[in-house]
Amino acid sequence: MKWRNSYFAIFTLLAFVAISFQSCLDNDDDLVVGDWALVWEDNFDGDQGTLPNPDFWNFDIGTDWGNQQLEYDTDRAENASLDGEGNLAIVARRENFAGSAFTSARITTKGKVEQAYGRFEARMKLPYGPGIWPAFWLLGSNIDEVGWPQCGEIDMMELRGQLPNINNSSLHGPGYSGGNSITKSFTLEQDRFDNDFHVFAVEWGVDYMYFFVDDTLFMKVTPEDIPGEWVYDHPFHVILNLAVGGNYVGFPTSQTPFPQTMLIDYVKIYENRN
């Protein structure tokens, strides 16, 4: 397959947001160019040790979450709080807590910030090491009614800590979930995601999903590309979490330093005004 680069510039006025991207896809002639307006954001400004804004974020408290994770996710500032420098720090620690050998945090906007369609993005600096599993993703807010994967799941960023230069983006739905998800990887050439901040995003329309790292579009999915039902027609909410262990990454090893920190500079949601 012959790859080529294309550049698109999106110019907006006043409250509109200009976003440009470079495509690494070979069939980009039919891409939908959005006219993006910012509708919600959290920049995590505040004093060091402050919990994330409760008007926006909930804590999921517990362990496993169906993925055989090893950490116990808490609502403590030690595991998720502002760092005083404009970031949210989600911190995984090696410590005995509630029967688990590790602690961390998992926060969600369910019931507080939910949206169907748009551009969802976060600027983050990621942790690393065997058994470390950070994620930035969307989950269908009807999960309590229809269950998973019928509710749909959109993963903008999943990283196996033992491969700190590779981001994985995926769609999970009925007939294509878990190990059979629609997935593509983006490799950061001659660098690692724990060295600096990078922007991870999805642009979601009625019949398309575009996945980005920084300004590079690397994955495009339409209903014709999936083997099951396209279930992306209702509000989703945002989830940020840092897992330890689990069936996706395996166990931490002696080469995995703790604590591990996932820094989030911001999370933003846009609407397409086209």
pLDDT tens series, the chain, 274 aa: 322 333 333 333 333 333 344 566 655 668 999 999 999 999 999 999 999 999 999 999 999 999 999 999 999 999 999 999 999 999 999 999 999 999 999 999 999 999 999 999 999 999 999 999 999 999 999 999 999 999 999 999 999 999 999 999 999 999 999 999 999 999 999 999 999 999 999 999 999 999 999 999 999 999 999 999 999 999 999 999 999 999 999 999 998 999 999 999 999 999 999 9
List the one residue out of 106, 121, 88 whose CA is nearest residue 217.
Answer: 121
Give residue 8's pLDDT: 31
Give residue 141's pLDDT: 98
- Integer Cα distance of 245 and 122 in angstroms: 23
CA angle 271, 183, 35 (to 5 degrees): 20
Owner of token pair 């945090």: 105
Q: Residue 58 in contact with residue 108, Cβ under 8 Å?
A: yes
Give residue 45's pLDDT: 98
Give residue 223's pLDDT: 98
Give residue 9's pLDDT: 32
- Integer Cα distance of 112 and 135 in angstroms: 20
Parallel/antiparallel/unpaired status of strands 62-63 and 114-115: unpaired
Give residue 36's pLDDT: 97
Q: Residue 81 in contact with residue 49, Cβ under 8 Å?
A: yes
The strand pairing partners of 86, in sequence order, are none
Give residue 29's pLDDT: 62
Give residue 30's pLDDT: 82
Tokens in use for 107? 């926060």
- Integer Cα distance of 50 and 60 in angstroms: 17
Give residue 24's pLDDT: 63
Q: What pTM was computed for the model?
A: 0.91
Domains of the chain as residue ranges with CATH: 40-272 (2.60.120.200)
Give residue 23's pLDDT: 60
Residues with active-site annotation = 153, 158
